[in-house]
Homo-oligomer: A and B are copies of this chain.
């Protein structure tokens, strides 16, 4: 079931009943309810509350808490506590600990210091989750469960002995023989061939700090698999006990895990932890003031939406962030809590839970502030939460509505992970991802992310008239077939430089790029080069527009069907070489672009190609405002989000009802106040 069926547009909060000072939680819960908060998340690090010594279980504390919740009508999201093993476990079973690449174990004293593959940790996990499920499944206050907390946060790499042992099992299953593994990893190079499974470890220290890149890629896949298995181990137990209407989720999203697969296998929906004014180093200089930091979070939210079209926010920033590590951030300006909440909703959230009710006064997160400060007094931020929660209530019919994107960026885990061991691709892709997002934001042509996965269907692609696959270096046969069908049937596809030169193991193809996509693209790559950093970037004239190449250049050779739209210009030796080639196929077309994308070049594509702003009939707005549209059964919800500290102008093309204030706004110009939000319903 989707999240909207559970909790359309409710507001929650993360809560710490673990604080022993607060024996009576009722006042807190009542205050929350008065402020529009109807859900609390609890117990995410409470292992020792349940199992103070190995095998000894007690439930009294949370029994009492849940009774109070039931009594007051507060709904509860209950967590499995596996993110923080108890001290007795960390100390007695060092095999449960994770380690860094040098093999130094991460010890008790922080969080997430365990590894997913230790048989002992899996046993401890099975025990605690089973006991909790037995005891709490069906409790009337509990509406759902969170697995663990932030899988792969802090570190997403695992180097314990348990991991090496499990890695071997994983590899045997995947490759069958060492011969196959040696071939897939190209171990013949630099004499790395393995002659016994016992010679294979997770990556360890080397002279240069890294190992064989194909092994590194496989290692990330293994980490993803380990994370998913550990989540599923918990979810499978819970499912045996939970009533059908109780949901399972976890909060993310972090690296080195296939969040899409994990969600499909183990969750009802995913929740996201959103901190749009994330902390910066308090000792270093300021972030770039030209682009508001918080608006960038919309890109993350688009990523989350690619996993679940409607999702939840488990932790929505409600105060300054900071940490013992040296990070800090200002408090949200008045209006920003509401702005960020509606940013989440605009992008598909149907539930928003704030982090956290009250700032911790003890422990490692005392500088990571919640709604209330240490003193617990009602404050400006709580008032803004209350107002925002009330606003969400007026949007209940928006729950389950769908974000309308005009085009999609294609993405896949093959390349996402290979980019971690291919610094050229990382550099190129980072540039292009940012460029397309900024272009989409500023031109008000909204975008989705669409992940290419084994079960991705043509129909999913066809929701978009335009797909941009910026730099799919690894390109599988099945992907090429899917893209061909998409174009054949009328889709427009943009492929950037470096497309298709690698196979699924990260090995380079012995074919001219774009490799398997040669039939798809209208050009092959004759030669390629990093741009000379000491020279100005070559320009690319495309009709009236002049694009600027960035980071990298493919020197394209058009196929007979390829139409050269633009060539490189300027002082580079490849001036005159095709830089943009279009191939018409069936009813669609493929654009092969020979470089990384800049914001300007992405905007040029959006202007030239058949994509439309869904807002055009209703609204215009300054670039500084983000526009978003959610739609359900003909009903439209139009979001205007002003991230800037200045008032910004919008222009209504027809009178529209603003939902949060409940007023009809006339046609014509209006000012949106700094950090202001509008939700027009049609």
Contacts and interface: CB of A to CB of B under 8 A. Distances in A.
Interface string A73-113: 00000000100111110110000001010111111111111
Given A286-B533, A361-B510, A534-B287, A109 B212 contact: yes
Given A45-B189, A190-B363, A88 B199 contact: yes
Interface in A324-357: 324-331, 333-334
B325 A376 contact: no
A35 B463 CA distance: 52
Contact of A45 (B112, B190, B201, B214): B190
Nearest to A81: B191
A102 B535 CA distance: 42
A207 B111 contact: yes
Interface stretch (A13-21, A474-482, A657-665): A13-21
Contacts of A322: 423-424, 530
Interface residues of A, number: 129
A203 to B, nearest CB: 6
B45 A529 contact: no
Given A193-B86, A363-B213, A423-B282, A207 B112 contact: yes
Given A52-B195, A205-B104, A325-B423, A530 B320 contact: yes
B113 A508 contact: no
Given A85-B191, A213-B364, A283 B111 contact: no
A427 interface: yes
A632 interface: no
A510 B422 contact: no
A47 interface: yes
B289 A423 contact: no
A210 interface: yes
A376 B110 contact: no
B87 A195 contact: yes
A53 interface: yes
Contact of A209 (B98, B195, B325, B427): B325
B379 A526 contact: yes
Interface in A276-300: 280, 282-283, 285-289
Given A155-B207, A363-B186, A334 B212 contact: no
B423 A206 contact: no
Nearest to A501: B374
B203 A511 contact: no
Q: Chain copies in the assembly?
A: 3
Given A325-B208, A529-B330, A361 B110 contact: no
A534 B551 CA distance: 28
A313 interface: no
A424 B366 CA distance: 11
A261 interface: no
Interface in A475-527: 501, 507-513, 526-527
A459 interface: no
A380 interface: yes
Nearest to A149: B190
Interface string A202-226: 0111111111111110000000000
A511 B375 contact: yes
Contacts of A287: 533-534
A204 B20 contact: no
Nearest to A88: B195
A88 B105 CA distance: 26
A285 B199 contact: no
A275 interface: no
Contact of A18 (B188, B208, B325, B362): B188
A335 B29 CA distance: 71
A571 B109 CA distance: 42
B188 A19 contact: yes
B191 A84 contact: yes
B527 A373 contact: yes
A578 to B, nearest CB: 15
A187 B86 CA distance: 11
Contacts of A199: 87-88, 90-91, 108
B109 A206 contact: yes
Nearest to A524: B375
Given A189-B362, A191-B48, A192-B363, A533 B285 contact: yes
A52 to B, nearest CB: 7
A192 B375 contact: no
A62 interface: no
A194 to B, nearest CB: 5
A399 interface: no
A631 to B, nearest CB: 35
Contacts of A375: 509-513
Interface string A1-26: 00000000000000010111100000
A223 B215 CA distance: 32
A34 interface: no
Contacts of A282: 423-424, 427, 530
Contacts of A509: 361, 374-375
Contacts of A87: 192-196, 199
A394 interface: no
Contact of A107 (B154, B201, B510): B201
Given A86-B193, A109-B211, A360-B508, 12 more contacts: A18-B188, A81-B191, A85-B191, A106-B205, A107-B204, A107-B206, A109-B215, A110-B211, A289-B534, A289-B535, A330-B532, A373-B528
Which 6 pairs from chain A and chain B are nearest by CB?
A: A186-B362, A189-B363, A286-B533, A109-B211, A289-B534, A110-B206
18 contacts: A84-B190, A84-B192, A85-B191, A87-B196, A105-B205, A109-B204, A110-B206, A110-B210, A111-B190, A190-B363, A208-B325, A287-B533, A322-B530, A324-B421, A327-B423, A328-B424, A330-B530, A359-B508
